[in-house]
Structure 1
């Protein structure tokens, strides 16, 4: 979320500026008399985010998308409370300022710290030049950040009362299998084998930690003058307490390599920068994580298999909506091919020897 990532607020997505400014002045002291200025971040396709400015003070407002949302999805109050618990221990997580239930409109929001830096994505600024060494250092920073997050003692936070770590992995595996069955449209070769194997090979969780569960490069922000320094980590909506290796598996499902299929690299848009020379391979990332965390990763083939399947189900749910005429967005017309490719990679991970 660098300054170039903001645009004028899109029509139909305006905020009640008087109410927002009133709430800001109630919760934040020392502000100037300048009026509230608002722009919108154009990155992201789920929750809506806005840049707020009063004089030199800046912040970010985060709220759910317009229209009906699924139960438990886009839970702004939960995300606000998660950030409130994590930020004191992990400052790359934005500091939250206040939550507003907005019962009148039914669209709650919260306001949080504005981080400054650059998001390294396939559409990053042209002036950013990456070398092989820089790419390696960025990879190391991502590993270090994940290890640091997993090292937080969640029992010293209120997350111990907000989450249910016992049985986490079992609930996840069976829950995502059920979601796939409910959104199934085409017969995909190998799915039955895959789901049976996952259901019967759930590893024992050795420990539970705070997990981000959407840990990927374009959710991270780096210092624009030192791309080895990670200064922000965003999108804490899926954060919970569970198996840290499940978090690592999800991270690896987004971490593409140059040797991956074109469909896997471009199935969600432009090819990610992790395919460029210097970035760690998935195996190197896992090995570095194991070395720095001290955790045993011999069952990573299960976690990677499940992560690819989970991503396949997310895409299948979108394709199901398109197939049923619930959306006319032509970007989703061939998403079924990407789902098949993800299932193929899940089967490949299943059959790999454990690291």
Structure 2
């Protein structure tokens, strides 16, 4: 743990705020550490030597507040915590930017491992790998079984026209963050728009559901779903498409993008789809469209990262390779769409 202040978190001001709002919660001097690996909001572990918490805040120098809405993240985990969906217990939301320089929220620290790679899964063996990946699907079924209105999330999004809006949003995102030709990207976007499926009854959707956004304990049980910044009310099959894409996309050489494909014991994507269909009772015959859309969305996200890299606005290892792998995601999106 860092005894000083990590970037973006003033521990003295945080302690004073916690003492005001949750008197007696903190029992000693705070120390903190920035958790590496997130692509967006900043996440810290904070401890007083006896207890641990997690603090989430927007990235430093962020511009679009709507893309890093702390109140929205706090609201969804607060609503889901009393249900069977595993989420950390929320502790406090602070929207006063004068405290640490941005809105933030505090939640409990949950023990568990985020499995990011096939190599990590290989280390736990094929039987445990199978259990963990199937649990990811079962937990998604649990999330999608929650009635949004019953937990106070009836107005958490606008399900009507959800897929059309999503496609338009990511198309605009692409236009705003590219400075090169990307063969096939317009074709993929157009073909997705022409083949929009009819959505099932809307649910709470996570928006970035994958194995390294959940924590798994030593008993191979999922203890928490993390990173709710893209959550809303919408088409639940978009989350299933993400699982299929992340579980099935190829391990590209030197790629910094997580892929669990290839780990011994990892269920095939067809089994994951069938598991979700049986658990949820939903028609999954159009899952190829949702998987192709997941490829498109990730291609746009990666191109945005590459664009910022070319402008010198990214820091860290691996960003120089992002641009080279975007075409592969476009190609897989087109190939997958042909299967639908």
TM-score scaled to structure 2, two decimals? 0.90
Q: CA deviation at 1:326?
A: 4.4
| Residue 290 of structure 2 is aligned to residue 282 of structure 1 | no
- Report the Cα distance in structure 2 between the residues aligned to 1:314 and 1:181, rounded to whole angstroms: 12
Q: Which residue in the other structure is 1:341 paired with?
A: 328
- Report the Cα distance in structure 1 between the residues aligned to 2:79 and 2:156, rounded to whole angstroms: 11
Residue 165 of structure 1, aligned match among 126, 136, 159? 159
Q: CA deviation at 1:209?
A: 0.4
User: Does structure 2 conserve the Cα–Cα contact (< 8 Å) formed by 1:117 and 1:231?
Assistant: yes
Name the CA shift for 1:66/1:277 in 2 (closer, same or farther; >3 Å). same
Q: Which residue in the other structure is 1:255 paired with?
A: 247
User: Does structure 1 conserve the Cα–Cα contact (< 8 Å) formed by 2:248 and 2:261?
Assistant: yes
User: Does structure 2 conserve the Cα–Cα contact (< 8 Å) formed by 1:64 and 1:108?
Assistant: yes
Aligned partner of residue 67 in structure 2, secondary structure: coil
Runs of 5+ consecutive residues of structure 2 not aligned to the other structure: none
Residue 218 of structure 1, aligned match among 199, 203, 212? 212
Runs of 5+ consecutive residues of structure 1 not aligned to the other structure: 1-6
- Report the Cα distance in structure 2 between the residues aligned to 1:12 and 1:36, rounded to whole angstroms: 12
User: Does structure 2 conserve the Cα–Cα contact (< 8 Å) formed by 1:10 and 1:40?
Assistant: no
- Report the Cα distance in structure 2 between the residues aligned to 1:179 and 1:14, rounded to whole angstroms: 26
- Report the Cα distance in structure 1 between the residues aligned to 2:178 and 2:32, rounded to whole angstroms: 41
Structure 1: 4+ residue segments shifted above 6 A: 123-126
Q: Which residue in the other structure is 2:20 paired with?
A: 26
- Report the Cα distance in structure 1 between the residues aligned to 2:160 and 2:284, rounded to whole angstroms: 20
Name the CA shift for 1:123/1:277 in 2 (closer, same or farther; >3 Å). closer
Q: Which residue in the other structure is 1:291 paired with?
A: 278
Name the CA shift for 1:350/1:45 in 2 (closer, same or farther; >3 Å). closer
Higher mean C-alpha displacement, 82-91 vs 58-67: 82-91
- Report the Cα distance in structure 2 between the residues aligned to 1:39 and 1:297, rounded to whole angstroms: 42
User: Does structure 2 conserve the Cα–Cα contact (< 8 Å) formed by 1:253 and 1:307?
Assistant: yes
User: Does structure 1 conserve the Cα–Cα contact (< 8 Å) formed by 2:3 and 2:31?
Assistant: no
Deviations 1:185-204 (A, max 9, x none): 33333333322211111111
Q: CA deviation at 1:11?
A: 6.7
| Residue 85 of structure 2 is aligned to residue 95 of structure 1 | no
User: Does structure 1 conserve the Cα–Cα contact (< 8 Å) formed by 2:94 and 2:103?
Assistant: yes
Aligned partner of residue 72 in structure 1, secondary structure: helix
- Report the Cα distance in structure 2 between the residues aligned to 1:124 and 1:338, rounded to whole angstroms: 20
Q: Which residue in the other structure is 2:223 paired with?
A: 231
Higher mean C-alpha displacement, 316-325 vs 232-241: 316-325
TM-score scaled to structure 1, two decimals? 0.86
Q: Which residue in the other structure is 2:232 paired with?
A: 240
Q: CA deviation at 1:335?
A: 2.5
Report the count of equivalent residues.
339
Coordinate RMSD, CA, aligned: 2.6
1:39-54 equivalences in 2 (<5 Å): 39-54=33-48
Deviations 1:311-340 (A, max 9, x none): 000111122223345457673334232110
Higher mean C-alpha displacement, 57-66 vs 299-308: 57-66
